Amino acid sequence: MFKELDPILHSQLRLAVMSLLISVKEAEFTFIREQTNATAGNLSVQVQKLKDAGYIDVAKQFKDNYPQTTCKITPKGIEAFEAYVKALQQYLQVGKG
Amino acid sequence: MEEKQLTEQESLRLITDMINKARSSFHESGASAILWGSVVAIAGLTDFAQRFWNFRVGFDIWLVVLAAFIPQIIISIRESRRRKVVALEENAVDAIWMVYGISIFMLTFYLNVVPGVSERMLSDQGQELMVKNLSTGEVMHQPSFVISGYSLLLLLYAMPTLATGIARKFRPMLVAGILCYIYFLISCFTTTVYDLLLNGLAGITCWLIPGLILRNRYLKAKSV
């Protein structure tokens, strides 16, 4: 029985954001934007969706008088990401067979 | 990057690409390592030179280590402002160096205080340390001292260096940490003069060289 791929993660930009965040403790919004080559508007929308799903924490603060947004993966996000990768591996193994 | 549905293969490729991107984005500037490597090397080698060639620079050269805290504070503030991403092992590495800082302060305190305290304790018991010159038979007062105190510094340098090398998988620091343990072992058999030379070498191998390697990588990554 195949697990259905998590629809929150099974989208290019959201998966890219989660893959970046799984490898770091936390990252600034600008860093994520640079690495994904996404527009600020699109990235904001996808980050908000991940936040609403409880997969990431978003902290907004001021640094040197400039607004700074920092993103961090949550334990729920790590769990979802691991489950997503496992499900992917299942699909790919069947594909090979 | 657009919002689109992915095939399983595309998903896996994207995950791998992004994880690699995140990992290759950590570039320490190396400034702190260069600072402390230079300071310890200057202090150790100058102190060695003073004792080996019998001259004085006119002040305690190890005070440069204290003075280095000022640029270190400036470096830390500037780097925290510039930092856009925090690595997973960052907290652990910071904790290692903080504990090292406390330990080196305590060890310096020990090395400076224990001889005086020992002398007072002996004096309270109506005793003092004496040394006898076996060839002339002359007996002289010997001020109390910690035997091979600089070896303890080497032992302490090795710990955070090796731990950081392992945590960051940074081979130059890993090798330097092991080398520093070797310096410590050598220093157990050498006089204080050569222990100072080993301290200077430790500054160069543990921090200055790894710092310069980090700096080189950082500048290369910045120019891309």
pLDDT at res. B2: 57
Per-residue pLDDT in tens (0 to 9) along chain A, 97 residues? 556 788 899 889 999 999 999 989 999 999 999 999 999 999 999 999 999 999 999 999 887 778 889 999 999 999 999 999 998 888 877 766 5
pLDDT, position A31: 92
**Per-residue confidence (pLDDT) for residue A10, from 0 to 100:** 87
> Which of A13, A35, A57 best tests the B interface by mutation, with the highest count of B CBs <10 A?
A35
Token digits of residue B179: 């080398």
Give start and end residues of each alpha helix (H) in chain A. 12-22, 29-36, 40-52, 75-96
* Cα four-point dihedral sign B76, B77, B81, B85: positive
What B56-64 contacts at long range (C-beta under 8 Å, 24+ apart), as own/partner pairs, is: B64/B39
Task: Specify the CATH number for the domain of residue A58.
Answer: 1.10.10.10
Burial per residue of A5-20, b for 16 or more beta-carbon CB atoms within 10 angstroms, e otherwise: bbebbbbbbbbbbbbb
pLDDT along chain B (224 residues), means of 10: 73 90 82 96 96 94 92 90 85 92 93 92 92 92 88 96 94 97 97 96 97 93 78
B124 in contact with chain A, both atoms CB, cutoff 8 A: no
For residue B183, being part of any structural domain is answered with yes
Helices B31-53 and B209-223: crossing angle in degrees, nearest 10, is: 150
Q: Do B85 and A26 touch (CB under 8 A)?
A: yes
Q: How far apart are the first and last CA of chain B?
A: 21
Say whether residue B123 is in contact with chain A using an 8 A CB cutoff: no
Q: Is residue B22, in this structure, part of any structural domain at all?
A: no
pLDDT score of B53: 96
Identify which of B190, B169, B195 has the alpha carbon closest to the alpha carbon of residue B180. B195
Asked if the interface predicted TM-score (ipTM) of this complex is over 0.95, the answer is no
CA distances from B59 to B46, B62, B116, B208 (A): 11, 9, 21, 24
The token duo for B51 is 């004792």
In a domain, A71, yes or no: yes
Give, in degrees to the nearest 5, the angle at Cα A24 between A21 and A28: 70
| Interface with chain A: mutation pick from B2, B4, B5, B11, highest number of A CBs within 10 Å | B11
Into how many domains does chain B fold?
A: 1
Predicted local confidence at residue B38, as pLDDT? 97
Q: What's the domain range around A75?
A: 12-96
Per the structure, how many domains does chain A have? 1
Alpha-carbon distance of B167 to B170, in angstroms, equals 8
> What gap in Å lies between CA B42 and CA B201, rounded to an integer?
10
What's the CA gap between B83 and B1, in Å, rounded?
24
Separation of CA B25 from chain center? 25
Q: In this structure, is residue B8 part of a structural domain?
A: no
Is position A7 within any domain?
A: no
Q: How many Å apart are CA B129 and CA B127, to the nearest integer?
A: 7
Q: Which chain A positions have a beta carbon within 8 Å of B23's beta carbon?
A: 23
Residue B4: inside a domain: no
Measured between CA atoms, the residue of chain B closest to residue A45 is B3
Does B1 contact A25 at a Cβ distance shorter than 8 Å? no
Q: Tell if the CB–CB gap between B22 and A27 is shorter than 8 Å.
A: yes
Phi, psi angles (nearest 5°) of residue A69: -110, 125
Does residue A39 fall inside a structural domain? yes
Tell me which residue in B3, B11, B19 faces A13 most closely, judged by beta carbons.
Answer: B3
- Would A52 be classed as within a structural domain? yes
Distance CA B61, CA B9 (A): 61
Distance from CA of A30 to the nearest CA of B (A): 8
Closest to B178 (Cα-Cα) out of B155, B200, B203, B152: B155
Q: How far is A74 from chain B (nearest CA, A)?
A: 13
> Would B179 be classed as within a structural domain?
yes
What does the pLDDT read at residue B3?
62
Minimal C-alpha gap between A79 and chain B (Å): 15
- Other Cβ atoms less than 10 A from the Cβ of A65: the count is 5
Q: Taking CB atoms and an 8 Å limit, are B19 and A11 in contact across chains? A: no
Judged by CB atoms closer than 8 Å, whether chains meet at A23 and B8 is answered as no
Domain enclosing residue B130, as ranges: 29-80+88-219
Q: What gap in Å lies between CA B83 and CA A93, rounded to an integer?
A: 40
- Pairing outcome for strands A24-28 and B130-132: unpaired
Strands (E), chain B: 85-87, 130-132, 139-141
- Interchain CB distance below 8 Å, B19 and A37: no
B87: left (phi over 0), alpha (psi -120 to 50) or beta: beta
Contact A19 B15 (CB under 8 A): yes
pLDDT of A26: 92
